[in-house]
Amino acid sequence: MKKTRPLILITNDDGISAPGLRALIAVMAEIGEIVVVAPDNPQSAMGHAITINSMLYLNKISKDSDPFLEYSCSGTPVDCVKLAVNEILKRKPDLCVSGVNHGSNSSINVIYSGTMSAAVEAGIEEIPAIGFSLLDYDWNANFETIKTFIRKISLEVLENGLPEGVVLNVNFPKLNEKDIKGIRICRQAKALWVEKFDKRKTPQGRDYYWLAGEFVNQDKGEDTDEWALENGYISVVPVQFDLTAHHAIQQLNTWKWNE
Amino acid sequence: MKKTRPLILITNDDGISAPGLRALIAVMAEIGEIVVVAPDNPQSAMGHAITINSMLYLNKISKDSDPFLEYSCSGTPVDCVKLAVNEILKRKPDLCVSGVNHGSNSSINVIYSGTMSAAVEAGIEEIPAIGFSLLDYDWNANFETIKTFIRKISLEVLENGLPEGVVLNVNFPKLNEKDIKGIRICRQAKALWVEKFDKRKTPQGRDYYWLAGEFVNQDKGEDTDEWALENGYISVVPVQFDLTAHHAIQQLNTWKWNE
């Protein structure tokens, strides 16, 4: 008896027309039945934002003769996942993949990333989920070199599932396929953005600001995603959405809270 | 010698005119030197979104004769913290407080919350930070009953600091002061939103959606924030921004990643 093909939800934060999304679609279409729901506009750095003070549009892009369903959505990446699960998909998908992001989501970037927040939302809804990002911000970045790895990682997750409450944050170095040394399971490096706002004036003379900034990695550990990427590896960080700092509970309990 | 008063940054996600922010300002003005930078519009559920594809305005609201600096900002709560730290404050603040949010940020809400994301951003920038939320969505909620506790918790943090990489998520039950049983250090309850989208039609006949949904707590533990709040306690959850699921690394390393 033929095994049912897995149902795979695909989204991103760079928007429905991003080449990174098209690369992900190409790989997933070989693996399973796919449904695409992605933002109609770039939603980079939207984090885990959802739309509650406004309404959402969902636009069917695919034609009936197309091999898969494709929608654009006026909301955030997390909105896309919620709408897909509740309004489009007939059953819970076997996998949700997000990306391929044009640019890094390693280290602290995971917290700002719309790509990763979509994967995290799927994880909250108990769907195995992976966010993929390539360390190349170019719109015309070469995604061909990483397709083999995307396929391999996705098949591993489909076969093994993921630990409860865990999604994967996968980042690819900007290298030729033959120069990639392999895949490493990592922790998130302790790094941050040191901001520099670019202060400008409107033609009418009013001040405004553009967020700029420099990524600073303070973490010299060789078990981090930053180390892996700098040394030619694909980084895979297991990401959780229980934000409790369990290690701090005992210490905080020594404080005089109720005196 | 008189000790320098602590410098306290105040923000929120309900916007500059929210009564919850005014309550927080009133308490903090008694404790230290305060600077307020809050969104010019409601930014609920914006998560850790930042503005990178557009510019930001910062509007000085306070007059020179006012006792403290106050700005509204066109961006998200996280933008407010970044702008405050980089463009307004002359030194790193001793404390950042966010809220008081009109409504709960317990359990999984921490991840969607603009209030908590502002606190987390301060934490990333190594500023001790606390997000405060009251379980009352009413714009005219009674914040008087919780002022004593806000003061106490803030003074504890100013005195003790916080463990590295940890900020506090404080939620208050909707109770009279005398009915609040005390403060409990908790973990984030395992809960989620089960969404129901409200599908409507524009006057022109186009479908649109409003996000609705029901909060479902699957977690019966008595060490959770949900349990504390249901039982008349103030919940304090230590929140971290290292999202690595450290417990999953060993298991993932048993997979055949590089074969």
Predicted confidence pLDDT, tens digits, chain A (259 residues): 456 899 999 999 999 999 999 999 999 999 999 999 999 999 888 889 999 989 999 999 999 999 999 999 999 999 999 999 999 999 999 999 999 999 999 999 999 999 999 999 999 999 999 999 999 999 999 999 999 999 999 999 999 999 999 999 999 999 999 999 999 999 999 999 998 899 999 999 999 999 998 999 999 999 999 999 999 999 999 999 999 999 999 999 999 888 7
pLDDT band at B44 (very low <50, low <70, confident <90, very high): confident
Reply yes or no: is the peptide bond before residue B194 cis, omega within 30 of 0: no
Is residue A172 included in any domain, yes or no?
yes
**Distance from the B30 Cα atom to the nearest Cα atom in chain A, whole angstroms:** 20
- Residue B241 forms part of a structural domain: yes
Residue B118 inside a domain? The answer is yes
Q: Does residue B97 sit within a domain?
A: yes
B194 Cα to chain A: minimum distance (Å) = 9
Nearest Cα to Cα of residue A46 among A15, A84, A76: A76
Closest Cα in chain A to B160? A255
Does residue A200 lie in a domain region?
Answer: no
Q: A248 vs B42: CB contact, 8 Å cut-off?
A: no
Alpha-carbon distance of B23 to B144, in angstroms, equals: 8
In a domain, A194, yes or no: no
Q: Give the pLDDT confidence score for residue A66 in this predicted structure.
A: 92
The percent of residues in chain B predicted with pLDDT above 70, rounded, is: 99
Domain CATH code at residue B41: 3.40.1210.10
Residue A131's domain spans which residues?
7-189+222-242
Distance of alpha carbon A238 from alpha carbon B103, whole angstroms: 31
pLDDT digits (tens, 9 = 90+) for B179-228: 999 999 999 999 999 988 999 999 999 999 999 989 999 999 999 999 99
Among A57, A111, A233, most B C-beta atoms within 10 A, so best to mutate, is A111
Burial A139-177 (b: 16+ CB within 10 A, else e): eebebebbbebbebbbebbeeeebeebbbbbbbbbbbee
Query: How high is the pLDDT of residue B3?
Result: 67
The reply to whether B94 falls in a domain is yes
Strands A58-60 and A69-73, how do they pair?
antiparallel
Q: Write out chain B residues lying below 8 Å of A83, CB-based.
A: 197, 209
Q: What is the pLDDT of residue B1?
A: 47
* ipTM (interface pTM): 0.93
Most A CBs within 10 A among B242, B253, B255, B259, hence the mutation to make, goes to: B242
Chain B contact set for A182 (CB, 8 A): 257-258
Look up residue A119 and give its two tokens.
């994967």
Q: Report if residue B239 sits inside a domain.
A: yes
Q: How many domains are contained in chain A?
A: 1
Contacts of B246 in chain A (CB under 8 A): 187
Q: How many whole angstroms separate alpha carbon B128 and alpha carbon B18?
A: 23
Per DSSP, what are the bridge partners of residue A201?
A207
What's the start-to-end Cα distance of chain B, in Å? 68
